Amino acid sequence: MKITFWLLDLNYEKKADQPEIRLWGISSSGERILIIDRNLPSYFYAVVNEDTEPTKLLEEIRNGDFPSVKKVEVVERKFFGKPVKAVKVYCGDPDVIAEYAKELRKFEGVKDCFEDDIRHAMRYLIDNNIQPCGWHEVEATETTDSPNIKVDKLYLAKATPKLVEKTETPKLRVLGFSTIYYSQEGSPKPERNPIVIISTATNCGDQEQFSADEDRKDKHVLEDFIDYVQQFDPDIIVGYSVNGQHWQYLQERCKESGLHLFVDRGQTEPRTSVYSHTSLTGRVNLDLADYVEEFQEIKVKTLENFADFLGVMKIENRTIIEDIDIAGYWNDKAKRETLKKFSLDNTCCIMGITEAVLGFAIQLSNLVGLPLDHVGTAAAGFRVEWFLIKKTHRIGELVPKRIDQPYRPYAGGLVLKPIPGLHDNIAALDFKSMYPNLMITYNLSPDTYVSPTESMPAGGVYETPEVGHKFRKEPPGFYKEVLTYLIKVRSEIRAKMKKLSPTSPEYRVLDSRQKAIKVITNATYGYAGWTGARWYVKPVAEAAAAYGRHTIQSAVQMAEKEELKVVYGDTDSIFLENDKQKVEKLEKDIMDKLKLEIAPDKVYTRIFFTEAKKRYAGLLQDGRLDIVGLEVVRGDWAGIAKTVQEKVLEIILKEQSQKKALEYVQQVIRELRQEHVPYSDLIIWKTLTKKAEEYEVNASHVEAAKMLKAKGWEMSVGDKIGYVIVTGTGRLYERVKPYVLATYDNVDLEYYVTKQIIPAAARILESFGITEEQLLAAKPNPKETKTLTDFFGSR
């Protein structure tokens, strides 16, 4: 019979020496199904030396000690665009591929072996053009032989599934969960600390909480949770930091209690798989922590901040319980309910965020070709790479091995010096997807690069300015094809967005989706220059950057010829006088001459630059401030300094009153000294980028991390450390305390005056002749001065 299904997950398995691919899906009638396909591609390539007769090699392989080889054939392939002859070696058993390839590399006449490093499930997807999160049709027979398989129907494929055009997503069952562990002091450790609460919620509206009330052991909590998961039978299980953290914790606790953490559809426990994600057979394990990275605006990437940013659950409307306080809340019967509420709220955050990002994750998975549970954990470079592998397979380009390449830097984008001070009516023009379009226009690609030792191709070459790299004009490289496709998809999404209100949730999702596509599109340039890339070709990236510099320089010259004053520019943008007619003419001229689209990205009623590049603030036409690079948008400045700088910018840009700005700063300083500034506005956050012992110089956040560690809190690379500066003597790093261990009385308020508020304010006001001394000096009688409320009104 013919089955139409949407591919949720897949895995490779070998049952009784029979290798098979298991396709977990949802049928068009809504059944959860498993399709077993025993017909899977299984081969690798041995590329033959130029002076070797490939047929000779065929014989040697046939006569060699390779019992699993089913077939060998000579094929024509390409490697970095150059034709090569290879022997394609088919193996009955996929698991021998790596070993056989290793053997064959030692054979005389074999230059190298390829594609022995492609995982079997990915091989299956690529060769059969099967897409995760996509619909397919398959001829299959139903079987009943399903030990331990939890599906509505089980099928054996009679043929290879075929992709069908159908864009909608089936109704998926989603279960979110979050946990609370009990630890008297320090980070909870599974070998000693129990789980006290597991909160779940589903997209069918059910909420459940399993807790260790009345001295119930966490064994029962886990049992109830496992039963509940199996009963609800979700397609997707979602959590926050579940990969490498919570799943492992639950699993350890299960082991401790003699339980099996069977929450999948195949009676197996969670396993750690590629890109260190946790895999659940037949279900998608989704970790929202992988998606928070897409949101640059979120500085401290907690679940609470993620939900707050998306508007799922505002922080001001809830009680946040810090890790350090959890045990206290649990111990106190009166506060325990608050802890439970906190836990349930976290799960609600998870469900809300899922609603906002799942559609995006599904699209990304489908676009890149990585299964939904891998695509989030895969770094940008790997997402690009899988997308490329799908495309190159179709054009006979062999997938290069990943090899260690020496790092050699090259020149990047050009940044213009800003004209400091205030400017009125400035347009910021952007080249649209500049690097990708340059790569398309000049056919920059790993398979079109012509090295200096090579002869001139028949169709001629593009020669790069400054660096002089050469690229064949014909035929088109695979970057050109890939980038053209990505740009097309993005423009379709943007067209859809135009029909929506910018405040609608759908708009926000589409916006982050198109941003992500943009990131991936732009990442193709970065990918080309990444030493870890399979198709690492430095000249491709270097050429794109050189064309980019050439482009922006030309644009500036053309603008100046139009007598448009350019006040700033960075890589692919120029900021200039917004003379409508002249700007429109310039856009057209640039299009004609440079063959690249440039368009106004933003128009500033007024914009402010310091002497520094990459830092400015502008007043947009709708009255909003657009602040770039300055302390306001940095995560490593105290909230109070950021607030002050933002208000100063607002006063300067909107009212142009230096006096009012000065008075405002002085007023905040007074309020701070009277301890009227909330403690949370004094916390400074910095990332621990390596292990504490590995730092060469003493640093504040490292000291804070060490103090937490001494109290039993595990500190790992990538953690954001929140600290305050406390009173005392000596170096700054000697006056640091983690914010959870300090109190307001310890805080050195003068540090916040002289090293936070004043520098942040002076950054702006020094342009107007106001010095740090002036900001600090002048202590008028409080009775004569305005209060903060006078400046901005009361809420």
Partner DNA sequence: GCGTTCAATGTACCT
Partner DNA sequence: ACAGGTACATTGAACGCG
Three-state secondary-structure class, residue 702: helix
Q: Closest Cα to residue 664, out of 639, 682, 646?
A: 646
CB 619 to DNA: min, Å: 16
CB 759 to DNA: min, Å: 4
Q: What are phi and psi of 385, to 5 degrees?
A: -60, -45
Per-position DSSP letters for 601-653, written without gaps between them? EEEEEEEEE-SSTT-EEEEETTS-EEEESSGGG-TTS-HHHHHHHHHHHHIII
Q: Closest Cα to residue 579, out of 592, 565, 593?
A: 565
Select 506 or 772, whichever has its Cβ closest to DNA: 772
CB 571 to DNA: min, Å: 4
CB 8 within 8 A of CB 235: yes
Cα distance between residue 434 and residue 431, in whole Å: 5
Select 239 or 722, whichever has its Cβ closest to DNA: 722
Select 280 or 684, whichever has its Cβ closest to DNA: 684
Select 20 or 577, whichever has its Cβ closest to DNA: 577
- Biggest CA pair distance of the chain: 100
CB 616 to DNA: min, Å: 8
Amino acid at 448: T
Segment holding 767, helix H or strand E: none
Select 92 or 728, whichever has its Cβ closest to DNA: 728
Three-state secondary-structure class, residue 740: coil
Per-position DSSP letters for 300-321, written without gaps between them? S--HHHHHHHHTSS-GGGS---
Q: Are strands 236-239 and 284-287 parallel, antiparallel or unpaired?
A: parallel
CB 355 to DNA: min, Å: 25
CB 321 to DNA: min, Å: 24
Beta-carbon count within 10 A of 761 CB: 27
Cα distance between residue 478 and residue 528, in whole Å: 12
CB 335 to DNA: min, Å: 32
CB 627 to DNA: min, Å: 7
Select 242 or 574, whichever has its Cβ closest to DNA: 574
Cα distance between residue 582 and residue 427, in whole Å: 11
- In 3-state terms the chain splits into helix, strand, coil percentages (rounded to 5) of 40, 25, 35
CB 368 to DNA: min, Å: 13
Question: What torsion, rounded to 10 degrees, do the Cα atoms 158, 163, 164, 166 define?
Answer: 130
Select 407 or 563, whichever has its Cβ closest to DNA: 407
Q: Which pair of structure tokens corresponds to residue 223?
A: 């049992």
Select 673 or 690, whichever has its Cβ closest to DNA: 690
Question: What torsion, rounded to 10 degrees, do the Cα atoms 465, 467, 472, 477 define?
Answer: -100
Select 34 or 429, whichever has its Cβ closest to DNA: 429
Cα distance between residue 151 and residue 266, in whole Å: 9
Rounded alpha-carbon distances, angstroms, from residue 127 to 36, 230, 394: 17, 34, 9
Sign of CA dihedral 442, 447, 450, 456: negative
CB 777 to DNA: min, Å: 19
Q: In a 10 Å sphere around its CB, with 0-12 CB exposed, 13-18 middle and 19+ buried, how is residue 736 labelled?
A: buried
Q: Which pair of structure tokens corresponds to residue 764?
A: 């702006």
CB 461 within 8 A of CB 472: yes
CB 635 to DNA: min, Å: 4
CB 276 within 8 A of CB 245: no
Beta strands across the sheet bearing 625-628 = 566-569, 573-577, 421-431, 598-609, 616-620, 625-628
Select 371 or 529, whichever has its Cβ closest to DNA: 529
Select 249 or 695, whichever has its Cβ closest to DNA: 695
CB 740 to DNA: min, Å: 18
Select 38 or 690, whichever has its Cβ closest to DNA: 690
| Contacts (Cβ under 8 Å, ≥6 apart) of 117 | 98, 401, 402
Chain residues that interact with DNA, rule: CB under 7 A: 275, 296, 299, 379-382, 407, 409-413, 415, 430, 519, 522-523, 525-527, 529-532, 541, 545, 570-573, 610-615, 628-629, 633-636, 685-690, 695-702, 720, 731-733, 755, 759, 763
Q: Closest Cα to residue 673, out of 758, 753, 757, 778?
A: 753
Q: Which pair of structure tokens corresponds to residue 230?
A: 């199996």
CB 579 to DNA: min, Å: 21
Select 4 or 643, whichever has its Cβ closest to DNA: 643
Select 15 or 119, whichever has its Cβ closest to DNA: 119
Select 88 or 271, whichever has its Cβ closest to DNA: 271
Select 206 or 636, whichever has its Cβ closest to DNA: 636
CB 703 to DNA: min, Å: 8
CB 90 to DNA: min, Å: 29
Unique residue bearing structure tokens 């500085």? 299
First-to-final CA distance of the chain: 66
Select 6 or 685, whichever has its Cβ closest to DNA: 685
CB 603 to DNA: min, Å: 14
Amino acid at 261: L
Cα distance between residue 623 and residue 604, in whole Å: 9
Cα distance between residue 125 and residue 131, in whole Å: 7
CB 435 to DNA: min, Å: 9
Cα distance between residue 752 and residue 563, in whole Å: 46
Cα distance between residue 383 and residue 190, in whole Å: 33
Three-state secondary-structure class, residue 444: coil
Select 275 or 507, whichever has its Cβ closest to DNA: 275
Q: What are phi and psi of 6, to 5 degrees?
A: -105, 125
CB 586 to DNA: min, Å: 18
